[in-house]
Structure 1
Amino acid sequence: ADIISDVNEAVWSKDPWELKDLNQSRLVGTGASEELIEIYLDNRRLTPSQQTLLTAAIAELEDVSGRDGILRQSLQLDGETEINF
């Protein structure tokens, strides 16, 4: 799967609420708690586009434990440079 193409298509074809729903459904399968998923999705430091890209990347890590740690780490990001890299 081409993550970038899939994310671009989703970002340009869905409104922010649809992206939130898409991201939530993807994250449920990662082992993250509902509380962590909600905190992540409500985090205003990440745009819906950035969340969708990060969520897609996390979802691609099938059968990898600790994916919820990536969500926790994303809550600590501060500034555009950290968010994009």
Structure 2
Amino acid sequence: MDIRDVPRVPAPARAPAAGADSSPGSVVVECGRNEQGHYNEDNLVVSPGLRSGAHHTHAYVGSLSTDAMSTDASLDAAATSCAGGDRSAY
């Protein structure tokens, strides 16, 4: 679907008030600064499954297996640069 054909959703007038048990709305994940040198030209957002689908290089932190062919299973099976074991791709 062309993004221009997606209906716009109006923004809420204001954010709902925070309740007693609400989250502050932030998450911190410590994954380093790509000290492992994990780079490739894959663009997982624009061209998933296509190797070298970008016209520039991406640097990754998190799962050290991140590439165009990543799956939940391959990300989970790989080592990670994140403290605490987070194997997401960033």
TM-score after normalising by structure 1: 0.22
Structure of greater Rg: 2
TM-score after normalising by structure 2: 0.21
Bigger relative CO (Cα 8 Å, ≥ 6 apart)? 1
